[in-house]
């Protein structure tokens, strides 16, 4: 099981892309983690324009934060994060430094 | 990472002050840790009148930071103290009106700029080249 929380800066990612991003996060996670796609939850949170900053300037960066229910080996984690990062850039058109992806082990 | 969330009452901190805080946080974090400026994220979250920060503190303002794990305790404590002092100075609130914390996560669990983040102290030349490119 993995739960993603996606923080999007207002106006940066078109709303109509969300179903595609959700489906792609489920597809990639199911493939890399060998879990059913139904075990992938995706939620979105929006940062209002002028409320998110990066390096002191208004941010255009999205964060895709994954919380795992079981610990993951690092090789698999890197594969998961790489595929998600590549997918996110391809689907949204953002630059590679405009997305932060994480997959955290349970505490 | 780092990611600093400032939870504030609705309408209490205007854009200019928010940006000033974000710049100050960036200066403080980078001065303390040597991290590239573009890796410092600051977000403001407002709560409506009659609400609260949602944290276990009886203050109207709260600063919740998340950093890479592995720094000495004294560095973390000074960072927290300096960040809160900057917030107080810029916004003009009373020091008694803000609380905060810095939690930590493993750097290797996060990919930023297409690279897995290095642990503190293990940054290679590419870490600084990436920052220079920005």
More confident residue, A36 or B105: A36
The pLDDT of residue B78: 93
Neighboring chain B residues of A55 at a CB cutoff of 8 Å: 26, 37-40, 134
- Convert the pLDDT of each residue in B9-41 to its tens digit: 999 999 999 999 999 999 999 988 888 898 899
Q: Which residue of B has its CA nearest to A85?
A: B114
Q: What is the largest CA-CA distance in chain B?
A: 49
Least confident of A42-51, A87-96, B112-121: B112-121
Cβ contact B43–A56 (<8 Å):
no
CB B63 within 8 A of CB B18: no
The pLDDT of residue A60: 96
Nearest to A66 by CA among A100, A20, A94: A100
Selected for mutation to probe chain A from B15, B22, B86, B134 (highest A CB count within 10 Å) is B22
Q: How confident is the model at residue A46 (pLDDT cuts 50, 70, 90)?
A: very high
Q: What is the distance between the alpha carbons of residues A84 and A79, in angstroms, rounded to a whole number?
A: 9
Q: How confident is the model at residue B134 (pLDDT cuts 50, 70, 90)?
A: very low
Is the CB of A77 inside 8 Å of chain B's CB atoms?
Answer: yes
Give the tokens for residue A59.
């941010």
Give the tokens for residue A28.
């990639």
Closest CB from B43, B108, B111 relative to A52? B43
Whole-number Cα distances in Å, B56 to A55, B51, B59, B79: 28, 13, 9, 20
Query: Which residues have CB under 8 Å from B16's CB, separation 6+?
Result: none
Burial class (CB in 10 A: 0-12, 13-18, 19+), A73: exposed
User: Would you give the distance in Å from CA B106 to the centre of its chain?
Assistant: 16
Q: How confident is the model at residue A19 (pLDDT cuts 50, 70, 90)?
A: very high
Q: What is the distance between the alpha carbons of residues B51 and B32, in angstroms, rounded to a whole number?
A: 34
Cβ contact A50–B15 (<8 Å):
yes
Q: How many CB atoms lie within 10 A of CB B40?
A: 24
Over pLDDT 70: what percentage of chain B? 93
Cis peptide before B2 (omega within 30 of 0): yes
DSSP string, A32-100: HHT--GGGEEEEEEEEPTTSEEETTEE---EEEEEEESS---HHHHHHHHHHHHHHHHHHH---GGGEE
Q: What ipTM does this complex have?
A: 0.94
| Pairs of residues, one from chain A and one from chain B, whose beta carbons lie less than 8 Å apart | 85
């Amino acid at each position: 099981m993995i739960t993603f929380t996606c923080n999007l800066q207002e106006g940066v990612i078109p709303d109509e892309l969300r179903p595609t991003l959700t489906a792609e996060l489920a597809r990639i996670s199911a493939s890399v983690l060998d879990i059913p796609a139904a075990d992938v939850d995706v939620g979105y949170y929006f940062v209002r324009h002028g409320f998110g900053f990066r390096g002191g300037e208004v941010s255009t960066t999205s964060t895709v934060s994954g919380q795992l229910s079981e610990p993951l080996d690092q090789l698999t984690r890197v594969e998961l994060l790489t595929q998600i990062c590549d997918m996110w850039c391809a689907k949204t058109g953002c630059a590679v430094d405009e997305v932060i992806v994480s997959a955290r082990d349970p505490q | 990472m780092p990611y600093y969330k400032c939870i504030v009452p609705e309408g209490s901190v205007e854009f200019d002050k928010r940006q000033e805080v974000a710049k100050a946080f960036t200066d403080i974090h980078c001065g303390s840790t040597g991290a590239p400026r573009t890796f410092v994220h600051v977000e403001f979250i407002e709560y409506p009148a009659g609400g609260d920060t949602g944290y276990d503190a009886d203050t109207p303002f709260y600063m919740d930071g998340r950093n890479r794990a592995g720094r000495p305790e004294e560095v973390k404590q000074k960072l927290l103290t300096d960040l809160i002092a900057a917030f107080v100075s810029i916004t003009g609130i009373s020091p008694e009106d803000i609380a905060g914390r810095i939690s930590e996560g493993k750097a290797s669990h996060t990919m930023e700029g297409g690279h897995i983040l290095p642990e503190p102290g293990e940054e290679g030349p590419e870490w600084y080249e990436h920052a220079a490119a920005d």
